[in-house]
């Protein structure tokens, strides 16, 4: 009994010493060590932008919005994450294209090779089957390592980018029966199915059920006016791709020699891709198009799914119906674009309908809270037309279903680093969480 008592006293002294020592150790060292030890995978992260987004080498953001990087504003989130040991790449897909076309481009950018939009899809929408050729971010993506494990990636998509990465994950997992039938032995690996190459999908302020902002007739014309005005402001540059690369080669939409950017953008919005087609961003972002995608784009059983919502509105003081308007403390930092954001927020904050011919027939007060571009209710995951399971995150990631991480009181742009001081920490925390997912 005496010996056991002495052992207990000695153990208590050692425990006290250890706890005391930990207090005086620099917190950054212990945190870094803890993070390093907790990493379970080193899969690369690929960032996919939303509608009207731009690449890291394009000057559009700086000239039009005084924001150099899509991801980070004037701080390069890609390199910030790389510096912290998280291998990260920034994709640049068609800013006005459909989710299908964007997913095909994203696949080629990551894997390397020529974009294949699919024989059946290309014929249906009247554009070329093949697009640009890319070197590839992760050329061994999908291959087995020396231990027999598949080299996977983490995908993070903002806004429409969330719809795009979901679609890519479904195509890799399930393929396309239509494309396999149309192409036979020449079918792209993207459409084969059976590829468990994506470890996680994270969506930020994404319109999984669409945004009512895109449901309004004339949305395309409004977008055309804005982009044409931007093109006019940017002037007549020799190389438009260095300013804003539209990436609509498949529709034959390339800037002519000596053509001004404004003239080129005007021509883009007069294209048949808008007037006679559903193969564009406007359709996919609307509630009808989003539900059609939800009906076949399902969560894969071997992939983790995370979603974040944003809220930048509040109830209007003078509204008896509880309409929502932009919260000036959140959205009042857009300078020249303040009026535009306020108008968008107010429209979504009061829009309602009862039309049983629509995919989502009833739009009511549940849809009014928004982040300036997307209805907050749409951002947790696909509800309409979908069989996916969506659960509030409880601290333990569940695979094969949506882990809804919560709603942040910030606007649609804040979450990717524009005018929110906490954005970089948020991305580091997200990358850390993804690295802790088991292989």
Q: Which residues belong to the active site?
A: 159, 371, 412
Residues 20 and 84 sit within 8 Å (Cβ to Cβ): no
Nearest CA-CA partner of 243 in 95, 352, 363, 131: 95
Residues contacting residue 121 through CB under 8 Å, at least 6 positions apart: 100, 178, 179, 279
Residues 322 and 187 sit within 8 Å (Cβ to Cβ): no
Q: How far apart are alpha carbons 52 and 49 in whole angstroms? A: 8
| Pair of tokens at residue 386 | 């979908």
DSSP letter for each residue of 256-277? PTT--HHHHHHHHTTSHHHHS-
Nearest CA-CA partner of 360 in 279, 278, 308, 290: 290
Residues contacting residue 409 through CB under 8 Å, at least 6 positions apart: 310, 311, 312, 330
Report the Cα–Cα distance between both ends of the chain, in Å, rounded.
47
Q: How far apart are alpha carbons 88 and 38 in whole angstroms? A: 19
């Amino acid at each position: 009994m005496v010996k056991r008592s002495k052992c207990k006293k000695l153990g208590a002294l050692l425990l006290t010493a250890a706890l005391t020592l930990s207090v005086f150790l620099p917190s950054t060292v212990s945190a870094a060590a803890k993070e390093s030890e907790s990493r379970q995978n080193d899969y690369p992260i690929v960032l996919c932008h939303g509608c009207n987004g731009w690449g890291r080498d394009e000057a559009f953001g700086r000239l039009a919005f005084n924001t150099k990087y899509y991801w980070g504003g004037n701080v390069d989130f890609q390199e910030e994450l790389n510096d912290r040991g998280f291998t990260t790449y920034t994709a640049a897909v068609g800013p006005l294209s459909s989710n299908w076309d964007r997913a095909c481009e994203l696949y080629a950018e990551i894997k390397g090779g020529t974009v294949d939009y699919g024989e059946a899809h290309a014929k249906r929408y009247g554009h070329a089957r093949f697009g640009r050729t890319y070197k590839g971010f992760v050329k061994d993506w999908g291959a087995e390592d020396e231990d027999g494990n598949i080299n996977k990636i983490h995908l993070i998509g903002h806004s429409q980018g969330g719809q795009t990465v979901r679609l890519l994950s479904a195509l890799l997992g399930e393929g396309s029966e239509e494309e396999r039938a149309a192409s036979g032995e020449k079918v792209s690996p993207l459409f084969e199915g059976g590829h468990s190459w994506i470890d996680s999908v994270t969506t930020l302020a994404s319109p999984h059920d669409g945004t009512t902002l895109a449901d309004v007739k004339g949305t395309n014309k409004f977008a055309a006016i804005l982009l044409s005005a931007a093109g006019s402001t940017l002037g007549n540059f020799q190389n438009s791709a260095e300013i804003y690369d539209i990436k609509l080669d498949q529709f034959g939409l390339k800037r002519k020699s000596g053509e001004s950017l404004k003239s080129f953008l005007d021509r883009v919005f007069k294209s048949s891709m808008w007037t006679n087609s559903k193969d564009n961003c406007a359709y996919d972002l609307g509630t009808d198009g989003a539900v059609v995608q939800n009906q076949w784009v399902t969560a894969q059983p071997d992939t983790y799914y995370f979603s974040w919502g944003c809220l930048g509105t509040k109830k209007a003081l003078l509204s008896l119906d509880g309409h929502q308007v932009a919260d000036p403390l959140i959205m009042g930092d857009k300078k020249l674009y303040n009026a535009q954001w306020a108008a968008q927020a107010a429209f979504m904050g009061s829009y309602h309908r009862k039309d049983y011919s629509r995919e989502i027939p009833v739009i009511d007060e549940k849809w009014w809270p928004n982040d300036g571009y997307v209805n907050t209710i749409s951002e947790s995951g696909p509800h309409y037309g979908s069989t996916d399971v969506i659960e509030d995150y409880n601290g333990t990631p569940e695979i094969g279903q949506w882990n809804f991480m919560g709603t942040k009181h910030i606007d649609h742009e804040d979450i990717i680093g524009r005018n929110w001081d906490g954005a970089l920490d948020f991305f580091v925390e997200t990358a850390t969480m993804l690295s802790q997912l088991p292989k």
